[in-house]
Chains A and B, each alone.
Chain A
Amino acid sequence: MSRFSKTLIGLMVAGTATAVFAFDRYENIGRPATPAEVAAWDIDVRPDLVGLPEGSGNVDDGMDLWETHCASCHGVFGESNEVFTPLVGGTRADDIETGRVAALIDQSFPQRTTMMKVPTISTLFDYIRRAMPWTSPKSLSDDEVYAILAYMLNLADLVPADFELSHENIAEIQERLPNRNGMTTDHGMWPGASAAEGGIGNGGTPDVQNVICMENCKTTVEIVSALPDYAQDAHGNLAEQHRGVGPVRGVPTGPQPEEGAAPAEQSSAAAVLAIANGKGCMACHGLANKIVGPGYNEIEAKYKDRPDAETYLIGKVKSGGSGVWGSIPMPPQGHVTDEEAQALVQWIMSGAKAQ
C-alpha cells in the first residue's frame, strides 16, 4: 500500500482504537494492567460509594478492634488529644437534623474533631482502609473496617450500640452525618473548570483583592499583634539558625550554650533515639514522661531488678501488651526488627539518654 493509504487507514482507526495507536507511538513502553493488579491497588471509595466493598461489622466487634488497633493513639472513646486531634466530640443531636455542626458556626469548640468536619461517610471508610492502623496500614479486613467505623459512629451518637454497619445501610448513615451540609465549593481556588462548566467553584476569581497604592495609603499604622517572648524562645537559639556572615545575624534566644562547650557527637544513644523516633515509639512514650504509654524512665525503674527484663521487654515490644500500665494496650510492633528491639530495650534499661 502507498504511504497515503496507510495514513488514511491510521486516521480512520485512531477514532476507534486510540489506545492501541498511542502505545504504538511509544513502542515497548508500558503494558496493560491485569484485572488482579487493578483490584489490588484500586481501593478508593468515592462520595457516591463507588468502590465500596461488600461487607459488614458491628459496634461490639468494632470496640474490640478499636482497643487493639486504635485506642493507643486516639483514646478509648476517640477523644484523645495526646497524639492526634480528637476524632469524636463537638457535635450535638440537632446537628444530625440540620447537617450543619453548630459549634463550627459560633467557633466556640476548642478543636475541630473529625466528626465535626467530615461531610462524606465514604471518606472515613476509604481512609481507615487505606491508612490505618498507623504503624501497619492496610492490615485490616473490609469487615474490620466496617466494624471500626460502626464503633466510631456509635461514639458520635449516630448509631445505637447494637448497630451493624454494612455496604447496604451505609448510605443511610450519610444522611445522618452532622456536617454533611457543611461544605461549600463557592470559591475561586479550584484551578480547573467552573461549576457552571462541570467543574468546581467560580472559575478562579479571587475573593480578596487589594489595590496598588503607592503614597499616603493610610494615616496610621497599628500593630495588632507582636511576638510574645515565650514564642521567641520556644524555637531554640535563633542565632544558631542564621548564617555567621552577611548583613545580619540571628538574635540569641533561649538557653545559651556554655562557653567553650564541645559540640555533641552522634553517640550510640542518639542512634537508638533515632530508631525510637523513626519507628514511632516516641508517639506514645516520652524519655522521662508518660504520653499514652509509660515514660522510658518509668519502665527502667519498674524492671531494673528483674533478671530477665531484657527478654521480657523485647517480647513486649514485638508482641504488644496490656494491663500493666493502664487500660490502653500497646499494639504489636511488627515493623521493629529483633536487633532494633534489643537495642531499644538495652537503651531504655540504661537510662534512655538522648545523647
Chain B
Amino acid sequence: MAIEYARPGRVRPAPENFLSDTDIESVQNGRRDFIRKAFVTASAAMVVPAVAKAQSAGDPAILNLPEWTTSLGMPVATHPYGMPSQYERGLVRRESPGLTRVGGSSVSFTPLQGLFGIITPSGLHFERHHQGWHDIDPARHRLMINGLVKTEAVYTMDDIMRLPSVSRIHFIECGANTGMEWGNVAVPTVQYTHGMIACSEFTGVPLKLILDMCGADYKKGRFVLAEGADGSSMTRTIPMELIESGEVLVAYGQNGEMLRPENGYPLRLVVPGVQGVSWVKWLRRIEVGDMPYGTKDEAIHYIDLMPDGLHRQYTSTQEVKSVITTPSGGQILLDKGFHNISGIAWSGRGKIERVDVSVDGGINWMPARLETPVLSKAITRFNVDWTWDGKPAILQSRAVDETGHVQPSYGQLRAVRGTSSIYHNNAIQSWRLAESGEVSNVQVL
C-alpha cells in the first residue's frame, strides 16, 4: 500500500531511513509504541519542504501531467461486473483474530471506518454463518409454509417474485455486535467494535401476504418459526405481531440486485429492528405455531447472561445505539484544525430522534446534524463540525430514538446487566484522541 499523496499534513508516508539503528533495535525488541512516535515525528519533518516547494514552483501533481491525462483509458465492459478502485482494496470485510476457531461458524466485519451515508455496499455487508454458506441454485429453492394454516403450501422463486413487492431500507445488526467489549476494551477499530451492522435496501414480499394466502390462524398462531436451507437449517422464533404489521419481508433483493450468497441468496427473512440471527438466510420454511420454539439459537446461544445467573431468553430487539466512525480507533488525524465528526445511529424501535456528540468524554455535549433520509429501523448518518485544537480529547456520541430511549453509558449498562451478557451491548463508545493525532479505543463509565 505504498501510495503517495502530495498533500502536506501530519501524516505522510514514512521516508526512507527514518529509523536509526538504535530505533530499529528497539522495534525488534517489541516496542511498538516507539515506531508510531518515530513515524509521526519523521512525517512532521517532511511538511516543510513540501510546502516550500509548492510555494516556489507549484504542486508536481498539477505541473507534471499524470499518465491518466496523457494516455488512452480502458474500454467499456473491461469489468462486466464493476469493482472498487485498486486504491480502495484495504476497505474489505475482515475477521477478528482469535474470536472463533472455525471459518464456517464465524464472523467477518463491515469496514465502517471507510463508509459514507447509510447504505452498506453489498460486498462489504458483514457475514455471520452458522455452518458455512452455499451459492444456492434458485431454480431448486423452495419456500414451504406449514403449521397453523388452512393450506400448507409450497412456493418457487418464480412464485415469490411474481407477487406484489415492496422495497425498504433497514439496518441489520448481529445481537453480538460490540459483544467483545462488554467487560473491557478488546479490539482496535470501529470495524471490529461495531462492524456487525449493515444497512441495505431490501426488496421482497411481506410475509403477511403469503400467510394470508395460506389462511394462517392468526388467533392461535402467535409465533412463527423461520428455518434456513443451509446445513445448520438455522431456526428462530418471530412474533406474529411484527408479521401482522407488514414489516417482515420475504426478501430476494438487496441494493437493487439479488441478495449475495453470503447474505442468503436467493431468499431471506427481513425482520426490521430485530437482531440479525432472526433474519434467517436461505429461507426454506415458515411454520405458524402457538408457542416459542426454544431453538439452539434461543436456548444455548443468543441468550443474555445477567448478574444473578439467569439468562434472558428471546431477547430480539436491537436498542438505540450510535458510534462515531470518523475519527475512530486506529486512525491518525492529518492535522489540527477543521474536522467533520461523522457517525451512524440506529434503533430497533423506530426512527432516530437526535444524536449528541461530546469531545470531552461526556461532560458537555453538542447536537449533531441528522442527514436525510431518517428512516425507521434504518441507519441514520450524523455529522458535527469541529475544530481540533491539537489537545487530547475523548469523542462520544449518544443517540435518542423516537420512543425517547436514550443510549446508555457503560456505567449505566453494566449496573443492570453486568459484563457477561455477550449480546446487546449498546453502550456509548469512546474514542481517545492523543496530541499525536492518534485515536484509540477506550471506555468511560
Contacts and interface: CB of A to CB of B under 8 A. Distances in A.
B104 interface: yes
Contacts of A134: 104, 131
Contacts of B155: 29-30
Contacts of A42: 146, 285, 287
Contact of B330 (A119, A241, A246): A241
Contact of B406 (A127, A210, A218, A233): A210
Contact of B152 (A33, A217, A257): A33
Nearest to A223: B442
Interface stretch (A5-13, A62-70, A178-186, A313-321): A178-186
Interface string A101-132: 11011110000101001111011001100110
Contact of A251 (B36, B300, B314, B340): B36
Interface stretch (B54-62, B118-126, B354-362): B354-362
Contacts of B132: 278, 280
A62 B188 CA distance: 45
B384 to A, nearest CB: 13
Interface string A204-233: 101111111111111101111111110111
B239 A199 contact: yes
Interface string A74-100: 000000001110000000000000001
Interface in A301-346: none
Interface residues of B, number: 147
Contact of B365 (A31, A117, A213, A251): A213
B101 interface: yes
B151 A105 contact: no
Interface stretch (A141-149, A152-160, A188-196): A188-196
Contacts of A277: 103
Most B CB within 10 A of own CB, among A46, A188, A191, A231: A191
B406 A212 contact: yes
B212 interface: yes
A171 interface: no
B185 A231 contact: yes
A256 B1 CA distance: 11
Contacts of A231: 185-188
Contact of B214 (A19, A43, A226): A19
Contacts of A114: 300
A120 B151 contact: no
A18 B314 contact: no
A277 B133 CA distance: 13
Contacts of A3: none
B96 A235 contact: yes
A199 B241 CA distance: 9
B348 A137 contact: no
Interface string B265-277: 0000000011000
A131 B305 contact: no
A212 B331 contact: no
B315 to A, nearest CB: 4
Interface in B408-445: 408-410, 412-413, 415-418, 420, 424, 430, 432, 438-445
Interface string A162-188: 000000000000000001001111111
Contact of A243 (B88, B153, B354): B88
A257 B90 CA distance: 14
B348 to A, nearest CB: 7
Given A182-B310, A184-B311, A191 B406 contact: no
B192 interface: yes
Contact of B144 (A33, A102, A214, A239): A33
A192 B315 CA distance: 11
Contacts of A235: 94, 96-97, 187-189, 192
A4 interface: no
Interface stretch (A20-28, A53-61, A264-272): A20-28
B185 A247 contact: no
In this complex, which of B39, B222, B287, B311 has the most chain A Cβ atoms within 10 angstroms of its Cβ? B311
B394 A221 contact: yes
Contact of B231 (A25, A137, A213, A226): A137
A248 B91 CA distance: 14
Contacts of B66: none
Contact of B101 (A47, A82, A101): A82
B378 interface: no
B191 interface: yes
A19 B102 contact: no
Contacts of A257: 1
Contact of A19 (B131, B151, B409, B432): B151
Given A234-B98, A252-B39, A184 B310 contact: yes
Contact of B233 (A101, A130, A199): A130
Given A206-B405, A209-B406, A47 B312 contact: no
B244 to A, nearest CB: 9
B191 A185 contact: no
B67 interface: no
B294 A122 contact: yes
Contact of A240 (B90, B153, B303, B410): B90
A300 interface: no
A235 to B, nearest CB: 5
Interface string A251-294: 11100110110000000000000000110101100000000000
Interface string B310-322: 1111111101000
Given A37-B144, A185-B313, A280 B296 contact: no
Interface in B291-311: 291-296, 298-300, 303-311
Interface of A: 17-20, 22-23, 25-26, 29-33, 37-38, 41-44, 46-48, 82-84, 100-102, 104-107, 112, 114, 117-120, 122-123, 126-127, 130-131, 134, 137-138, 179, 182-193, 198-201, 204, 206-219, 221-229, 231-236, 238-253, 256-257, 259-260, 277-278, 280, 282-283
Given A102-B309, A104-B309, A122-B294, 13 more contacts: A23-B151, A29-B155, A33-B145, A33-B153, A43-B233, A100-B309, A182-B310, A184-B310, A189-B317, A204-B317, A234-B97, A250-B189, A253-B330
25 contacts: A18-B215, A22-B212, A32-B151, A84-B105, A101-B309, A118-B299, A127-B296, A190-B314, A191-B317, A192-B241, A199-B241, A209-B412, A217-B365, A223-B430, A225-B442, A226-B440, A227-B188, A227-B442, A236-B97, A240-B1, A248-B334, A251-B332, A257-B1, A277-B103, A282-B103
Interface of B: 1-3, 5, 11, 14, 16, 32-33, 35-36, 39, 87-88, 90-91, 94, 96-98, 101-105, 111, 113-114, 130-132, 144-146, 149-155, 159, 162-163, 184-189, 191-192, 210, 212-215, 222, 225, 227, 231-233, 235, 239-242, 273-274, 284-285, 287, 289, 291-296, 298-300, 303-317, 319, 326-327, 329-334, 339-340, 348-349, 354, 356, 360-366, 394, 398, 400, 405-410, 412-413, 415-418, 420, 424, 430, 432, 438-445
